[in-house]
A = this chain, B = another copy of it.
Amino acid sequence: MQLASQLSVHRNALSLHCCLTRKHSQLLVPSPAVLQQPLAVPDRLLLGPGPSNVPPRILAAGGRQLIGHLHKEMFQIMDEIKLGIQYAFQTQNPLTLAISGPGHCAMEAALLNAVEAGEVVLMGVNGMWGERATDISKRLGADVRQLVKPPGEYFALQEVEQALDQHKPSLFFITHGESSSGVLQPLDGLGELCHRYECLLLVDSVASLGGAPIFMDHQDIDILYSGSQKVLNAPPGCSPISFSERARKKIFNRKMMPPSFSLDMGWLANYWGCDDKPRAYHHTAPINGFFSLREGLAILAEQGLENSWKHHKENSVYLCEGLQQLGLQLFVKEQEARLPTITTFVLPEGYDLQEVIAFIMNKHAIEISGGLGPSAGKILRIGLMGYNSTKFNVDRVLHALKDALQHCHKNKL
């Protein structure tokens, strides 16, 4: 711009500023009275499908003063998170990090980086998560095929093989811990099978990680993600994810840029020190979310994966026995297929699900949950995850359920 017009622009801007002050001297929207009240957060035992209660050590970490998202101490904490995820996932993949968002963002990050428009993908749908992965993949313009089973069932190897053979997908999605139905999906053999069909295996372990065995490298899983707010007992908002060398190659040889900047794995890999370039600014990370996730992973590492799997299994079996003693019917018939972190069951005739849930919340300050997606209105769900997976909590929730069964029958009057 020439000087004369520059001056005119500046005069224009100055008058704009004056005008702004004059024109808007009164606030249109007054300060809301309700914000003068203190923040009200009731105490609850969270035995739904997540979030779980957060132990004091993790709350304290999340309550620490911030440092910058590009400080070297932050990179050190992120390196520690990466090691913690590699341990929890049982993987040596260098491309391992935490997404700055809830589990759905990790699902979206996996799909939008690994899949391009027009590619055939196959979704294992036996509950909510296969439906969500289908929704996301459609938005990406993928050619989405489904392998469907009723909620409460899992997929057998030969069923998957038949579908791979029929659809020839480039990616197969399956859920390890189907939190909407309480099913634990066996994973052995799936990776090898997918690779025989030149297909990547993508596994959702949001609800199962730390609560049931998973071995990313041994089981040939190509992309694995989880959440922070289940067994890891951190607040929601950060989601561990890891990519095998096979997945990494596919992602970094895309034809088109991924349709999201925030979830672009090239940028994220750099920020997390997973490439050979100096770390650069990508986004402002959820800094104390990372503090909390680091502590959640540290607690899991201290306890040991095998111990964590064992105590989740034991407390889940203890809960199942208690539910059966109350005359309640477990939704997943086969014991080995029951997810140790989330137990699902059916109420007898004469009860309204929502009434039972509300009774337990209002009288006992305990959250239990109804179904979700295909299981909505059919089942109840009790989560026992990490810090919350204790015999004491099982006793508390069984006591509350017994009370509800006595008070909520429709013939109670």
Residues of A bordering B, CB below 8 Å = 9-10, 12-14, 16-17, 19-21, 23-24, 27-32, 34-36, 39-44, 46, 48, 50-51, 53-54, 59-69, 71, 73, 76-77, 79-80, 83-84, 86-87, 89-92, 100-105, 108, 132, 135-136, 138-140, 154, 156-159, 186-189, 213, 215, 217-218, 227, 229, 235-237, 257-262, 281-289, 291, 294-295, 297-298, 301-302, 304-306, 334, 336-337, 367, 372
Contacts and interface: CB of A to CB of B under 8 A. Distances in A.
24 contacts: A13-B154, A20-B186, A20-B187, A30-B87, A35-B297, A35-B301, A40-B76, A41-B67, A42-B73, A46-B67, A54-B66, A59-B65, A62-B288, A66-B229, A68-B367, A69-B236, A71-B367, A101-B101, A101-B105, A102-B286, A136-B260, A139-B260, A139-B261, A140-B259
A63 B138 CA distance: 38
Contacts of A186: 13, 16-17, 20
Contact of A237 (B12, B32, B289): B289
Given A39-B77, A186-B16, A258-B139, A32 B294 contact: no
A326 to B, nearest CB: 24
A32 B79 CA distance: 11
A286 B289 CA distance: 9
A236 B59 CA distance: 17
Given A235-B286, A301-B36, A41 B23 contact: no
A236 B287 contact: yes
Given A13-B156, A132-B261, A135-B261, 16 more contacts: A12-B157, A13-B334, A13-B336, A16-B157, A29-B90, A29-B92, A35-B87, A35-B298, A36-B298, A59-B65, A66-B235, A69-B236, A101-B262, A102-B283, A235-B287, A260-B260
Contact of A284 (B69, B227, B283): B227
B188 A20 contact: yes
A177 to B, nearest CB: 14
Contacts of A154: 13
A87, A257, A295, A367, most chain B CB atoms within 10 A: A87
A42 B13 contact: no
Contacts of A87: 29-32, 35
